[in-house]
Amino acid sequence: MTTRAATCVLALLLALAVLGCDSRRPAPLAMLDLFTFRQTTPAVLTNIEGLEHDEKGAWRWLLGPEGRVAFASDAARPYTLRFRLMNPLPDQLVTVSLNGRVLATYGPLPRVGWLEPSVAAALTFQARPGENVLAFAVSDWNGRTMAHMPTDARPLAAVFLDFLLYAR
């Protein structure tokens, strides 16, 4: 590599670091709303489906065995998660954890009517600097032991009716 090319690469790396684009330091999440699509920085969703709706309302499916939301925090700081969840399966257990530490367990939850909430919760927790993972583990899902919804092959487990995560 020539001296000129090396200088250009060094200048580019320095500019990225100064502008906060260094991949080692993810931008912190201040707010994420999965229903209005408002968010301050990207979060990574795993096993949480896209927004669906009908004449009764809107929802996102939580898939079994576990759905996850990965987000970054710039420091150890409190976050609050507010969510409503509908359970379509009998005796469902839903465990919410952060970075492997259980925050709450709900259930056994009864099966309820379509888009009627089984859980309405607000959890405040301490995020660590860097990447954090909120996990929603379920005890059952479509197709695990039986086809609860035989016309849909997805591992449907529960329905988010609201989901708002924000820094305090």
109-161 per-position pLDDT tens digit: 999 999 999 999 999 999 999 999 999 999 999 999 888 888 999 999 999 99
Task: Judge residue 144's burial from the number of C-beta atoms within 10 Å of its C-beta, 0-12 exposed, 13-18 middle, 19 or more buried.
Answer: middle
- Report domain extents, the chain: 26-167
Q: The domain 26-167 is classified under which CATH number: 2.60.120.260, 3.40.50.1110, 3.40.50.1970, 3.40.640.10?
A: 2.60.120.260
64 and 155 in contact (C-beta within 8 Å)?
yes
20-36 per-position pLDDT tens digit: 444 455 688 899 999 98
